[in-house]
């Protein structure tokens, strides 16, 4: 189906191919923008910004004002859910997030006291943004997928190989299953809260899904994601759900078939032509420009964009990066990308 919609991104996520692919960029609100850096210097650290609804709304809107993106992505963090489950969260300068206690045992998990308080500033941010967005812009909410969130909760911080979480999943699968279920249940309510406040589509970020074996991928990525998607479809059937299992590779097709997501994000390691052949017919695809080629710019950027644009001749496609935009990305390169995708070059 081909159409020209007043909300091209939302229409694409609902399965309508647009004459020009809509575009937004993961982490488009952030450190590469001087207006973001100025506001952060004024307001304080990252978590302070997330919890300041006025500031978070302003940051969400900054790339819309500057670039006219087709989608606005809520400025927040995937680790809001661990806070709602009762973990403490803070950010170490230059080192990233820290959570306590580390969930190394069932006793520590059972000692958590859930609280909805961390979610409330996020809903207020959503309301502020929804009231300020241009009519053609689709508002995207998000949450971390249960496996990725669990890796942080178990290790108490990020880790490249997620060894602590993977070891615990083998040693005590019952405990990890309980944790993943709790995360999934809170995530459903959290995303429904975002929807009630004004988001029009949601994305599930599974940034660490690529470290799992096929059997673990089925257990810790596909199954809980399917649980979340089914609950969202039952209670908010009008809202598309984008799944983004970074690093899934050849497991993408099974993820697409078995989770029930309405669209699938692909990272920069995936051949887009392969994805077009392997994924279910008509399923909208989002991606998958390498964030580093956006930094490089020039002919390399131009050819990479052309390859992606040509990979989905009959499939609804949202142009995006294969992961988040890097902080040293030149703004002129983002402008060149937008011009090329929108056909002005």
Could you tell me how many helices (H) and strands (E) the chain has, helices first?
17, 9
Q: How far apart are CA 329 and CA 93, in angstroms?
A: 21
> Would residue 342 show up in a list of annotated catalytic residues for this protein?
no
> Would residue 257 show up in a list of annotated catalytic residues for this protein?
no
Q: Which of 14, 27, 166, 227 is catalytic?
A: 27
Tell me the helix, strand and coil percentages in the chain, rounded to 5.
50, 15, 35
Q: Six-digit token pair at 261?
A: 């997501």
> Would residue 160 show up in a list of annotated catalytic residues for this protein?
no
Q: Which of 152, 227, 262, 267 is catalytic?
A: 152
Q: Which of 52, 77, 262, 276 is catalytic?
A: 77
Q: How far apart are CA 317 and CA 306, in angstroms?
A: 13
The beta-carbon contacts of 111-118 under 8 Å, at least 24 apart in sequence, are 112/85, 112/86, 112/87, 113/86, 114/84, 114/85, 114/86, 114/186, 115/83, 115/84, 115/86, 116/84, 117/84, 118/51, 118/80, 118/83, 118/84
> Would residue 37 show up in a list of annotated catalytic residues for this protein?
no
Q: Which of 40, 66, 106, 342 is catalytic?
A: 40
Q: Six-digit token pair at 179?
A: 């944790």
Burial of 49 (C-beta count, 10 Å sphere; 0-12/13-18/19+): buried
Cβ–Cβ under 8 Å, residues 168 and 197: no
Q: Which residues contact 301 (CB under 8 A, 6 or more apart)?
A: 293, 294, 333, 336, 337
* Phi, psi angle pair for 246, to nearest 5°: -60, 135
> Would residue 267 show up in a list of annotated catalytic residues for this protein?
no
Residues that are catalytic: 27, 31, 40, 77, 152
């Amino acid at each position: 189906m081909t159409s020209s919609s007043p909300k091209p991104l939302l229409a694409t996520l609902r399965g309508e191919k647009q004459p020009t692919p809509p575009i937004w960029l993961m982490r488009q609100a952030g450190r590469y923008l001087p207006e973001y850096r100025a506001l952060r210097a004024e307001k304080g650290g990252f978590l302070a910004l997330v919890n300041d609804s006025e500031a978070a709304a302003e940051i969400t809107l900054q790339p819309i004002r500057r670039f006219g993106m087709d989608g606005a992505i809520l400025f927040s963090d995937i680790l809001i859910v661990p806070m709602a489950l009762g973990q403490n969260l803070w950010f170490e300068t230059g080192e990233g997030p820290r959570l306590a206690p580390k969930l190394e045992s069932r006793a520590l998990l059972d000692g958590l006291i859930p609280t909805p308080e961390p979610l409330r500033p996020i809903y207020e941010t959503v309301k502020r943004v929804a009231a300020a967005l241009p009519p053609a812009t689709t508002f995207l909410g998000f949450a971390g997928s249960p496996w990725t969130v669990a890796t942080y909760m178990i290790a108490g911080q990020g880790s490249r190989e997620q060894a602590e979480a993977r070891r615990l999943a083998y040693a005590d699968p019952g405990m990890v299953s309980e944790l993943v279920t709790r995360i999934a249940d809170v995530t459903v309510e959290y995303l429904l809260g975002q929807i009630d406040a004004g988001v029009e589509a949601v994305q599930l970020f599974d940034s660490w899904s690529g470290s799992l074996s096929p059997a673990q991928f089925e257990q810790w990525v596909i199954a809980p994601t399917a649980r979340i998607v089914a609950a969202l479809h039952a209670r908010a059937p009008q809202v598309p759900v984008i799944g983004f299992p970074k690093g899934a590779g050849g497991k993408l097709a099974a993820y697409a078939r078995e989770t029930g997501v309405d669209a699938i994000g692909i990272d920069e390691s995936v051949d887009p032509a392969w994805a077009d052949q392997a994924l279910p017919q008509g399923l909208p695809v989002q991606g998958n420009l390498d964030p580093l080629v956006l930094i490089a710019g020039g002919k390399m950027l131009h050819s990479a964009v052309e390859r992606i644009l040509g990979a989905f001749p009959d499939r609804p496609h949202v142009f995006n990066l294969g992961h988040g935009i890097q902080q040293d990305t030149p703004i002129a390169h983002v402008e060149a990308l937008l011009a090329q995708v929108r056909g002005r070059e």
